């Protein structure tokens, strides 16, 4: 028989936004459950070093995730790791979820923090050199490539803007793009073309990554001629889009055309009692610090919602 346990709030996702929400909710004496489909920490645990988290000079993403997890647990938060969400019902005052192991839970509020993932090239060597020369975040990792030559993949606004920002560190930035033109705004294209450190390899694509303990070179294929050139590089930054982990939310909350969760300034969604935070919501900047900020706001708003809910029920007229 499926056992159902009731919580004040359930947080779907165990990244920095979800863990922060759990810390705030639990500290407010609200019975809180965090569901994580992997080890708590989300994308943060893949980051070798975080050097721009205020008040912390340098820490690995895994260490920071562990500290957040311990904090949440110390305030009484229940955390279920390595479990898949099977179903979610967001309508009505009582929300309901079931997990892959058959367990079920209900709650008065839900905070959605499923995060997202950078779109990958999906070519040989990419998975192995992730964090060892391949990055998807210039703000996080640009500093590690000071005085080095790097490659940027992509042709949209993010790719060109980040390529320009990476010239603060790298001596040479080569942009590899599959078309003969860019999809970015004209000003972004002009700024990149005006930068003497930036070089362009158009109508081309990376087909493989090579190296030993670190990335050393890439294969670049000319899509017109079919010719493949081995290109030495110290690092590759890939900016070909971002995919929010919201497939399971279609028809459950409002999503925009990029499948990002639409939120109000207090992180409430289109459904009463359902809030969202972190990399899966519609926003421009995605950092550990912005996720933590979102999680804080969502938890405070959810706490207020739960308080109003209890007050409403407390003052409800008796029926005979």
- Give the integer Cα–Cα distance in Å for 307 and 133: 48
User: How sure is the predictor about 5, in pLDDT bands with cuts at 50, 70 and 90?
Assistant: very high
- Give the integer Cα–Cα distance in Å for 90 and 95: 5
- 239: which 2 tokens? 């900016």
What's the burial of 189, exposed, middle or buried (CB within 10 Å: 0-12/13-18/19+)? middle
- Looking at residue 317, its pLDDT comes to 55
Greater model confidence, 49 or 13? 13
Mean of the pLDDT values across residues 51-61? 88
- Looking at residue 46, its pLDDT comes to 72
In percent, the amount of the chain with pLDDT more than 70 equals 96
Per-residue pLDDT at 318 exceeds 70 = no
- Give the integer Cα–Cα distance in Å for 33 and 10: 5
Helices (H), the chain: 16-27, 61-74, 138-141, 157-166, 186-194, 288-314
- Looking at residue 286, its pLDDT comes to 85
Whether 120-238 and 4-117+242-314 are alike in CATH topology: the answer is yes
Per-residue pLDDT at 88 exceeds 90 = yes
- Give the integer Cα–Cα distance in Å for 302 and 139: 31
| 114 contact partners, CB below 8 Å, separation of at least 6 | 12, 13, 244, 245, 246, 248, 249, 278, 280
For the entire predicted model, the pTM comes to: 0.78
Q: What is the CATH number of domain 120-238?
A: 3.50.50.60
Q: For 216-245, write each residue's pLDDT tens digit.
A: 999 999 999 999 999 999 999 999 988 999
- Give the integer Cα–Cα distance in Å for 132 and 116: 21
- Looking at residue 52, its pLDDT comes to 84
Residue pair 306/314 in contact (Cβ under 8 Å)? The answer is no
Per-residue pLDDT at 39 exceeds 80 = yes
Q: For 91-141, write each residue's pLDDT tens digit.
A: 999 999 999 999 999 999 999 999 998 899 999 999 999 989 999 988 788
User: How sure is the predictor about 2, in pLDDT bands with cuts at 50, 70 and 90?
Assistant: very low
Name the average pLDDT for the chain: 93
Superfamily name and number for 4-117+242-314? FAD/NAD(P)-binding domain (3.50.50.60)
> How far are the Cα atoms of 3, 11, 57 from residue 295, in angstroms, in the given order?
29, 10, 22
Q: What are the domain boundaries of the chain?
A: 4-117+242-314, 120-238
């Amino acid at each position: 028989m499926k056992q159902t346990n009731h919580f004040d709030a359930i947080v779907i996702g165990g990244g920095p936004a979800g863990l922060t929400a759990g810390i705030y909710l639990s500290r407010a004496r609200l019975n809180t459950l965090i569901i994580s489909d992997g080890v708590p920490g989300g994308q943060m645990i893949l980051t070798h070093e975080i050097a721009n988290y205020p008040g912390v000079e340098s820490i690995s993403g895994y260490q920071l995730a562990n500290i957040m997890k311990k904090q949440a647990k110390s305030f009484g938060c229940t955390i279920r790791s390595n479990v898949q969400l099977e179903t979610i019902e967001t309508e009505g005052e009582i929300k309901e979820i079931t997990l892959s192991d058959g367990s079920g839970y209900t709650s008065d509020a839900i905070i959605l923090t499923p995060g997202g993932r950078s779109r990958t090239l999906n070519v040989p060597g990419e998975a192995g050199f992730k964090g060892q020369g391949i990055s998807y975040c210039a703000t996080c990792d640009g500093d590690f490539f000071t005085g080095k030559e790097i490659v940027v993949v992509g042709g949209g606004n993010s790719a060109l803007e980040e390529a320009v920002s990476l010239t603060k560190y790298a001596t040479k930035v080569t942009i590899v793009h599959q078309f003969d033109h860019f999809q970015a705004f004209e000003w972004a294209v002009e700024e990149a073309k005006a930068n003497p450190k930036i070089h362009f390899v158009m109508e081309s694509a990376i087909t493989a990554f090579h190296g030993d303990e670190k990335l050393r070179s890439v294969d670049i294929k000319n899509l017109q001629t079919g010719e493949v050139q081995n290109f030495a590089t110290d690092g590759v930054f890939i900016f070909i889009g971002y995919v929010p982990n919201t497939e399971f939310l279609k028809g459950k909350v409002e999503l925009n055309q990029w499948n990002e969760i639409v939120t109000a300034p207090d992180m409430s969604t289109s459904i009463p009692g359902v809030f969202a935070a972190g990399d899966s919501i519609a926003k421009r900047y995605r950092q550990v610090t912005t996720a933590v900020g979102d999680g804080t706001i969502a938890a405070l708003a959810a706490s207020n919602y739960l308080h109003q809910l209890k007050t409403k029920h407390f003052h409800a007229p008796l029926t005979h």
